[in-house]
Amino acid sequence: MDPGTLYKALADTTRLRMLMLLVMEGELCVCELTHALEEIQPKISRHLALLRESGMVLDRRQGQWIYYRLNPDLPRWVQEVLSTTAEGVTMQPPFDRDLRALAEMPDRPEKACCN
């Protein structure tokens, strides 16, 4: 991965927040991301498409829902940048609010909201 691609992705607050949630939570459904970030689905999907095209995230479809996760084949240095960033921002706004909103989300996918 080109460093410019990584830092371009991280330069946008919405994409950074999504990536941090994926680092901390693993795989997330689009509905979880829209809830946690309090953004509309088209905006979230547009940013996810950019991250997918850059090779940073992978998606999978389950029924009508699409789940996203970090690409496990990202170079080690990219994984380290993302994990170090996540460790550093976990307790800072807006990242702490995103995690709290996600934790408080009623009917998360594992509880069948998105099935």
- The pLDDT tens digits for 56-111 are 999 999 988 899 999 999 999 999 999 999 999 999 999 999 999 999 999 888 64
Distances (CA, A) of 18 to 8, 46, 98, 114: 14, 12, 9, 19
Q: What's the CA gap between 37 and 53, in Å, rounded? A: 21
Question: Would you list the domain boundaries of the chain?
Answer: 3-93
Residue 64: predicted pLDDT: 84
CATH tag, 3-93: 1.10.10.10
Strand partners, 60: 67
Kind of pairing between the strands at 28-29 and 57-62? unpaired
CB 114, CB 67: distance < 8 Å: no
